[in-house]
Structure formats: structure tokens, C-alpha cells
Chains A and B, each alone.
Chain A
């Protein structure tokens, strides 16, 4: 387990790139020519200057969405993998027809730029807290991916930082900006199924091979284009193998949290929305998980987490249990509502024609998750998926992971965010960072 630090240093990493494109060279006195941009674009005063950190998976589609907005001026990209970095840079430069996009290896250097309004962060989970808190302290508004953080303690720290520095945060829990999820949640919130007796959330099971690297677990030197040691960051050291890194890192519990954590920010987020639980969490959590696979992909392949909220309502989160249908299902006194991507069903079906009138509780409405972030950034207004809300959705998964690990019921106080009467479980609320990393 010998650590090979910074195998590729920043200078080596960036030397192949044109000097003008390297972040520090361009920073800060030169305003990119593209700022004066395309005809018909908003004036620079109303433009949102953005940068992106992490382009291995969700970072690219997120950036493309932002690039489609006239008011966005994308000025920089940052990644620890040179291939991802170049790909991202080329997309930006092609969009603007120039070569102005700056590239950064180290997100901390990007955070030194004073001309950036907002960042889109799509890095592996083990990095979420550190990168986001650094960006918040740099004064950037943030579009960040779910799950909010890798641990509960990190989640609280991130929320506090966003609030402390007055930042606007949008989580990539985009389902909130889609009509069927909004309609389902509004029906439940307005009592159309009566008192909710139970909520079932079905998530995927197993491990999906996003990168085609399944089984590639022969340890060896990392490729030259990836600064692997930096990429691992605060996570415990582990030797390089393709199955551990890009896209599939989520199946390793040191880096991600398996299907449970990968999806918790979507369907449990919607369950909370319907229930008005955006700023709370369960009071009891128990769970079982099947650790069937040896090796790098060590997250549970099948899991069942049973929670109970303060009003006694149970919420089940399961992956690999066919009786729990994929998506979110609220079961109430008078019927049920179910929603998933592209689906909305109810019993009685006539409920779907019901209209939520102006005098009822209308939920926050957005039909474009990216535009909502940009609008809120300008108005200094809360987005549809703020950090605190994402933290509460993620908390269900984090507690589930702890309950599965310990094999017993945990009592949680969502107000103080502490586990009651279980010092062992409390130990799992966070983990020690590998040096030199520190939670800011």
C-alpha cells in the first residue's frame, strides 16, 4: 500500500496544453474575448460567468445545459484527468468559436479566480464536501451533484458553509423540475390521498457498469493522463485499477455509496417533497444489505432500509425487492400516488385530473432545473433544490448505510443531527480524511 503521491504534477499535467488556455496564464486581468460574445447575448452586466469542476460523467451534460443558456459565459474547466479536461475545454471552445476556455488541474487554483460567479461541480462523492466548501468560500454560487456529500458530518458542514457565505445552491436532483414529480408531490401534499400511511421508494440494485470497466480490478499504475493520488483525495488509499475510477467509483464504499446513495437524492428527495419533510429526517432507521461481491465494487447489491418519521409514518427504501416498485409511492387513506421517470399513476386514477387551486398548497415550480439556478442566482433567491434539502434526502441513505453496517435499529434526532444512545453508530457519521486533506 505504498502511496505514490502526485504521480503527475500540475506542471507536467498542463504542459501539453496551450499556454493561453492554462488558467493562471489567463487569470485574472484578461477578460475572455468571448465575453463580448455572440450577437443577441445579454449584456456582460447580466451575464453569469461559470466554470466547471469534474467532467468524468455528469459534468459534461450539466455544462452543455448551461451552455445552451444565453446568459451563461463559460470561462474555465477543471479536472484531474487530462482527457476529461481537454474534452470539456473543446466543447466550450467549439461553442464560442474561440480558444479562450481556461483549464485547471487543481480546483483550489480555479477558486482563486475573481471573475467567476458560479460553478458546476460533478466530482466523485468523496470530493463533494471539500470542493463545494472551498467554492462557497471563494464566493461562487454552486450547482452540485447528488448525493450532497459522502457522510452526514460533511453534509452539515456543506450546508453551514453555503449559508454562512450566502451562496445560492442547486442540487442536481432535477426530478423536482419535472412535471410528473411536481404533480405527484402536490397531490400528496394537498391531502388527495388522505393521511399518508406508508411511503415506498424503489431504487436500482446491483452495480451498473457505466464505464465498461467491470471486472478490471488488476491493480497497476494509473494512466498518465490521470492524477490518481489527487483523485483519491480524502478517501483511504487504494491502488489504481480501472474499475475503481471514472463513473464506476460509485460502487466502492470509500468513494461512493452504491445504488442506495446514488439514487437517494432522486426518489427519496421526491418522497420528502410530497410529505413536506424537506427540513427533517427519519427518527428511526434499520436496514439490511447484501454484500455479495468481493473486490473493488463492494457496495451492497441488494438492500432494504426501513425508516420511521416523527409522526409515525414509515418510509421504505429498497433496491432489488420487486415488491417495492421503482420510483416513489405514497400510500394513503384514500388511495395512492406513484411517480417515476416518465410515469405518474394514482388510485383512484381520477386523482390525476385534479387541479391544485391557487388557495391550496402549491409547491415551488420549476420546469428547467438549470434556468432555475440561474434565475435564483440573480435574485439571490432559494432554488428548487437547495443544499439543506439535499442534505436531508441524503441523510436517509447515510443512516441506512450505517444501520446496514451495524445490523441494528438506529435512533436519529433530525433536529440535532445526532444518533441517540449508540456510540458505535455515532462513529460512522464521518471518517478520518487521508492527509493532507481537511474539511474546511
Chain B
């Protein structure tokens, strides 16, 4: 047995050796032994990929990507994938297929990929795909390959390599790039200067600084831009002095104003504790170009002394810089800032006054309530709205109390109006009883303002009280305003079928026509569908004022439920005003059904056209028709071409429908 076993073992050993030999001959032994299965499948996929052309056999890309994504997770199978992809790059596969391989080498490519990719750098057809992978391979060899290619290529290929060296921030590229920067080709020189800005190593900054004094035109501007990048990088690394030197060099160079300003900003940001003084020096200087960047650099941790000094320059600055500085100062809740801004609000320049008012809204406190309300009362336009906003935005304890106190002690109606408005804007709950009191007793314009404010401040529980006030309103205007307020308050009810309940209850109690008509109009504005039956009953009443109120209420109805009501009125009413109101409401309601079956909407539109008595309504209907573009709509619009009064609107509808149908 022993002998037999030994013989068997030796046969097995021989067989293994033979197999190993075979694999060695095939040149794939090591990788295949590690991951025979993946390698084999990939080969099959790559075989299919060889002839890949976009738009022809795209399915293979899914298979290919899926395979690599699955197999790049372990180092072993990733190595297999890399090897196969590199082999593939040297095959006669299509360029599109090779690009797909490079997409994966961008992620999994290592040292082994470099020589293969490097070869591809020199050919126009393959240089981009090679860089696509090579630029991302984190090895010195990849950098060396790019550097070598830099010296051996020209034109657009070299531009790509310059770009890659810049993106990789290859410090060893500084010298060759410096050479190209000084060379004859403008495009190459520009690319080299740009790349040096990305590299931003001290050596790069040095060569750029040398070039700054000699370069001209675009090269000079790009050199300055790249130097700015270097300085920014040095600042991030904590080398403020080195950065400041660059900014100084740029500030004394003959470069465009934009770059000068950028250098100025940089210098301030590198200035550390001296930043405040620097800003102050600039604002005191005659260098107006630098005012804007300097003001923009005032940071939140600005020291008090510098802040005070900057405030003192405010009135000496050009108007646009005063405005800019006021916006910046609004961030500083400090008494010295507040007192300066208060002075500036008296400026002769409107823009400055507006900026100061806005700043005061952030800086002020309760003591500013009277100032803002008076300012708003006595100004118009943007100044007025800014004063109102600032009053609404005032922070701190006591502002709300100051508003209410101001209302109590002031008699000037315009000022009181501003304070009432402020109660609404700031939602001062304690102000609600004050508003009700004003409605009873105050000047008419204050009453109207208080009614408006109650839209926001009244609660559902106040509805009955509001209705009573509405019924007793002194004027039609007050009544109209109150109806709007009631509808708005009723809308706060989460139950849409309960919003009109209080009004309906009141309607059953009120007997006089004026009051009933007002309540009916209120129901129209609320639009609680459950109250429609009440309106239908009222429509049957003989009193013309009640019928008029019902038709107006239905014409304003906000939901689709009243569609049949208004259609019926439009169809049968002898009163042209009522007919027009109802028809317009019907047309509006058709438009509300955005997602209705177009053919059904067109049927409704046909019905509207049939009862339209004036061209105005026909035009309104035609204007809506394209929203329901379909064959029926087109036919209807074409039919309307025969109506001389609306011919041009019909043509516009035809064109629009055709356009939409085409899409």
C-alpha cells in the first residue's frame, strides 16, 4: 500500500509540476493562481469589449463596469484586473473601449500602470485617456512619467500634461514649467503659469515673482493670479509673512485693478492683529480703488479701537462705500457704532439714509421705536418700507412694550398707523385688545389699519365679535376691510367645512338687507363648500340686493364646487353684469382644473363659448384653451377662426395648441 501511495503521490506531484509549467508558459501563473476565476471572466468581457463603439454594443459596458466594481475590492483581484486592463490597452481594441479601461485604471491603477499609460501620453488619440488614469495614480513614477512627457511633447498634448502636473502639484515640475513660461508660445506659457499657481510651492512662487516684473499682458495677469494662489496656500500653511511679501509685490506691480484689489484683500487677511490698522490706513488714504475690498475685510472679531476709528471715516467715504460700510457695521452691536449710524441717517444721500435705517434695525433697541415709527410716518417709498422693516426687526426686551406705549401716548394718526402696523408685524399679542379699542374709537384711518392688523392677531374665538363690528361698520370701506379680515380669521380653522359656520349662524339672526348682503359676501370670500346650500337658498329670494350679493359671492368662490352654480347663472341671467361675473367665474374655475382630461375641459370650454355674449369672455376662453391642448381643443380653436371678433385670439390659440401637441 505504502508503495502504491508513494507512486500516486509522485504522479500527483508530476502532474502539478506539469500544470505549473504550462501556466508559466502562458505567462499568467502568479495572477491566475491567485484569482483564476475573475481573470478568466474578465478576459471574456474584454474580448467582447474590444470592438466597443458607443451606441452599438453598450450592454457590454454595464457588464464590464459591474465586473471591475465587484473585483477591485481585494488587492489580489484588483491586481488581476489592472494587469488585464493594461494588456487590453496595448491590444487592437477601439479607442472608445480603451477609454473605458482607463476609467477604471483611474481608480485601481498603480505602479504597473505607469509605463503602459506613459506610452499613450505621446499620441494625440490616446493622450487624454492616458492622463485620465495617470493623473490620479499616486506614485512618484507617475509624476516622473508626466515630467518626461513634458519635455518630449508639444502643442495641445503638452498643454494637457501641464494641466495634469499642476493638478498633481508636482514640485519637480517648477523648473521645466518656468522654462515654458518664458518660452515663445503664449498658450503654453499661460498654461505653465496657471500650473505653477496650482503647485504653489515656494519655488513656484519664486519663479512667478521673478516673472511678474518682466511679463506683459495676459501672462502678467495670469502670473499675478497664480501668485495670489501661492500666497493663499502659504497663509493656510501658517506662513503669513511669506504670503504678505507676495501681496506687497503684487500691490506695487503694474497689474489690473481687480488683481490689485485681490492682493489688498490678501494683505489684510495675512495681517493678523494689524488687519484693523491696515483697513483704517486704506480708508484714510486716497486710494479709492481699495476702499471696497478693505471694507469687505472687516471681520466679526474686529477690535473696538479699530472699529471706532473706521466709524469715524464713514462720512468721508464715497457714497457707495458709505452704503457698503453701513451694511458691514450692522453686524456690530456696539454703542459707538449705534451713535455714528444714528448720525448718518440724516445724510443728504438717499442711498446712505436707507442703508443707515437698515443698519439701525439690527443695531437699535426699544429706544428706537419712536424714531422709526415717526420716520416711516413721514417718508415714502423705499425709505418708508425700510423704516417699517427695521421697526419690525428691532431686538431686545421692551420693544413690544415701547410700541404699545407709543400708541397710547401719541395722537398723530400717521405715526399711530405705523405702530398699529408694527403690532401686526411683530405679532404683539398684548396689542390685540388695543386694536379692538381702536376700531371702536379711533380716527378712521387708524380704524382701517387696526382691522387689517386683526387679520393676523385675531383668533377663531374672536369671529363673532368681528362679525358684529362688521355689521355695525361706519363706512362701506371699513365693512369691506372687515369682511376680508373675517375671511382671513375664519381660514385659520383647520376644518374647511366649518369655516363659515359662525357667519351662517349670524345670517339666520340678521334680518336687515344690508347686513345679510354683507354676511353673504363674507361667505363668498371664506369659500366653505358646506355653506353653498345657504347661498343657493338665498339666491331664490326676491330681494335684488340679496340676489346680487349671492351672485357676487359665488363669483368669488375659491373652490370648484360652485362651478355648476355660476354656469347656471351665466346661462340664465338676464342681468348682463351678473351674467359676465358668473361666466368669468366659470372660466376661472375651468382653469383651476389643471390635471383634468383635456377633452373634458374642452367640452366645458365649448359650453362657456356657447353662452358668452361678449367678445371679452370669448377671448378669455380662447386664452385658456391651449392649456388643455388636444385635438378637440385644436378643432375648437380653428372653428373660432370664423368669428371675426376673436379671430386673432383664435389664431394664437391654434398656434399655441399645435406647438404643444408637437412637443
Show the binding face of A for B, using Cβ within 8 Å: 1-3, 137, 139, 153, 160, 164-166, 212, 217-219, 236-239, 241, 291, 294-296, 298, 349, 353, 355, 357-359, 362, 378-381, 405-407, 423-424, 426-428, 430-440
Taking the nearest CB of chain A, how far is it from the CB of B109, in angstroms?
9
Contact A166/B62 with A219-B54, A381-B327, A438-B163 known, Cβ cut-off 8 Å: no
Residue-by-residue, is B125-143 near A (CB-CB < 8 Å gives 1, otherwise 0)?
A: 1011101101110100000
Do B58 and A294 touch (CB < 8 A)? Answer: yes
Do A435 and B159 touch (CB < 8 A)? Answer: yes
Taking the nearest CB of chain B, how far is it from the CB of A319, in angstroms?
19
State in angstroms the CA–CA spacing of A428 and B58 once bound together. 23
Do B163 and A432 touch (CB < 8 A)? Answer: yes
- The total number of A-B Cβ pairs within 8 Å is 154
Going nearest first, the 10 A-B pairs with the smallest beta carbon separation are A435-B160, A1-B95, A294-B58, A427-B136, A432-B135, A438-B163, A436-B159, A295-B58, A432-B131, A139-B258
State in angstroms the CA–CA spacing of A140 and B393 once bound together. 33
State in angstroms the CA–CA spacing of A296 and B108 once bound together. 24
Do A164 and B128 touch (CB < 8 A)? Answer: no
Write 20 A-B pairs (CB below 8 A) sorted by A numbering: A164-B232, A239-B55, A241-B55, A291-B66, A294-B62, A295-B58, A349-B494, A379-B327, A379-B355, A431-B136, A432-B131, A432-B164, A435-B128, A435-B131, A435-B160, A435-B163, A436-B159, A436-B191, A439-B166, A439-B167
Name the one of A165, A359, A407 contacting B258, with C-beta atoms under 8 angstroms.
A165
Q: Spot the interface stretch: B394-402, B500-508, B585-593, B628-636.
A: B394-402
Do B225 and A137 touch (CB < 8 A)? Answer: yes
Do B167 and A432 touch (CB < 8 A)? Answer: yes
The residues of A that contact B156 with a CB separation of less than 8 Å are: 435-436
Q: Answer yes or no: B107 CB below 8 A from chain A CBs.
A: yes
Q: How large is the interface on B (under 10, 10 to 19, 20 to 34, 35 or more residues)?
A: 35 or more
Do B426 and A357 touch (CB < 8 A)? Answer: yes
Do B125 and A1 touch (CB < 8 A)? Answer: yes
The residues of B that contact A362 with a CB separation of less than 8 Å are: 393
Taking the nearest CB of chain B, how far is it from the CB of A42, in angstroms?
12
State in angstroms the CA–CA spacing of A203 and B134 once bound together. 35
Which positions 219-244 of chain B face chain A at CB distance < 8 Å?
221, 225, 228-229, 232
By DSSP majority rule, is chain B's interface helix, strand, loop, or mixed? helix
Do B292 and A166 touch (CB < 8 A)? Answer: yes
Taking the nearest CB of chain B, how far is it from the CB of A261, in angstroms?
18
The residues of A that contact B53 with a CB separation of less than 8 Å are: 219
Given A428-B107, A432-B136, 18 more pairs with CB closer than 8 A: A1-B99, A2-B125, A139-B258, A153-B167, A217-B55, A238-B96, A241-B54, A241-B55, A353-B492, A358-B392, A423-B138, A424-B108, A427-B106, A431-B135, A432-B164, A433-B163, A436-B159, A438-B159
Name A424's closest neighbour in chain B (CB-CB). Answer: B107
Q: Answer yes or no: B324 CB below 8 A from chain A CBs.
A: yes
Taking the nearest CB of chain B, how far is it from the CB of A201, in angstroms?
25
Do A432 and B324 touch (CB < 8 A)? Answer: no
Name A436's closest neighbour in chain B (CB-CB). Answer: B159
* Chain B CB within 10 A, most for which of A2, A405, A427, A438: A438
The residues of A that contact B94 with a CB separation of less than 8 Å are: 1
The residues of B that contact A423 with a CB separation of less than 8 Å are: 138
Do B55 and A359 touch (CB < 8 A)? Answer: no
Do B258 and A3 touch (CB < 8 A)? Answer: no
Name A359's closest neighbour in chain B (CB-CB). Answer: B395
Q: Answer yes or no: B187 CB below 8 A from chain A CBs.
A: yes
Name the one of B296, B355, B396 contacting A166, with C-beta atoms under 8 angstroms.
B296
Which positions 187-213 of chain B face chain A at CB distance < 8 Å?
187, 191, 194-195, 198
State in angstroms the CA–CA spacing of A438 and B59 once bound together. 33
State in angstroms the CA–CA spacing of A416 and B225 once bound together. 22
Taking the nearest CB of chain A, how far is it from the CB of B397, in angstroms?
8
Name B662's closest neighbour in chain A (CB-CB). Answer: A212
Name A379's closest neighbour in chain B (CB-CB). Answer: B327
Do A160 and B232 touch (CB < 8 A)? Answer: yes
Name B326's closest neighbour in chain A (CB-CB). Answer: A379
The residues of B that contact A437 with a CB separation of less than 8 Å are: 163
State in angstroms the CA–CA spacing of A425 and B87 once bound together. 25
* Chain A CB within 10 A, most for which of B157, B160, B295: B160
Do B395 and A358 touch (CB < 8 A)? Answer: yes
Name B392's closest neighbour in chain A (CB-CB). Answer: A358
Do A3 and B394 touch (CB < 8 A)? Answer: no
State in angstroms the CA–CA spacing of A149 and B55 once bound together. 27
Taking the nearest CB of chain A, how far is it from the CB of B583, in angstroms?
29
State in angstroms the CA–CA spacing of A237 and B130 once bound together. 12
Do B187 and A427 touch (CB < 8 A)? Answer: no
Contact A430/B293 with A379-B327, A438-B191 known, Cβ cut-off 8 Å: no
Do A294 and B59 touch (CB < 8 A)? Answer: yes
Do A436 and B187 touch (CB < 8 A)? Answer: yes
The residues of A that contact B65 with a CB separation of less than 8 Å are: 291
Taking the nearest CB of chain A, how far is it from the CB of B384, in angstroms?
17
The residues of B that contact A291 with a CB separation of less than 8 Å are: 62, 65-66
Taking the nearest CB of chain A, how far is it from the CB of B551, in angstroms?
31
The residues of B that contact A381 with a CB separation of less than 8 Å are: 324, 327
Do A358 and B399 touch (CB < 8 A)? Answer: yes
Q: Answer yes or no: B162 CB below 8 A from chain A CBs.
A: yes
Name B97's closest neighbour in chain A (CB-CB). Answer: A1
The residues of A that contact B59 with a CB separation of less than 8 Å are: 294
Name the one of B55, B262, B427 contacting A164, with C-beta atoms under 8 angstroms.
B262
The residues of A that contact B320 with a CB separation of less than 8 Å are: 378
Taking the nearest CB of chain B, how far is it from the CB of A60, in angstroms?
16
Residue-by-residue, is B347-360 near A (CB-CB < 8 Å gives 1, otherwise 0)?
A: 00000000100000
State in angstroms the CA–CA spacing of A247 and B154 once bound together. 36
State in angstroms the CA–CA spacing of A435 and B261 once bound together. 32
State in angstroms the CA–CA spacing of A389 and B261 once bound together. 24
Do B167 and A430 touch (CB < 8 A)? Answer: yes
Do A238 and B195 touch (CB < 8 A)? Answer: no
Taking the nearest CB of chain B, how far is it from the CB of A183, in angstroms?
14
The residues of A that contact B494 with a CB separation of less than 8 Å are: 349
Do B262 and A166 touch (CB < 8 A)? Answer: yes
Name A293's closest neighbour in chain B (CB-CB). Answer: B62
Residue-by-residue, is B96-107 near A (CB-CB < 8 Å gives 1, otherwise 0)?
A: 100100000011
State in angstroms the CA–CA spacing of A164 and B227 once bound together. 12
The residues of A that contact B167 with a CB separation of less than 8 Å are: 153, 430, 432, 439
Do A1 and B96 touch (CB < 8 A)? Answer: yes
Q: Answer yes or no: B309 CB below 8 A from chain A CBs.
A: no
The residues of A that contact B426 with a CB separation of less than 8 Å are: 357-358
Which positions 250-300 of chain B face chain A at CB distance < 8 Å?
258, 261-262, 265-266, 292-293, 295-296
Do B99 and A407 touch (CB < 8 A)? Answer: no
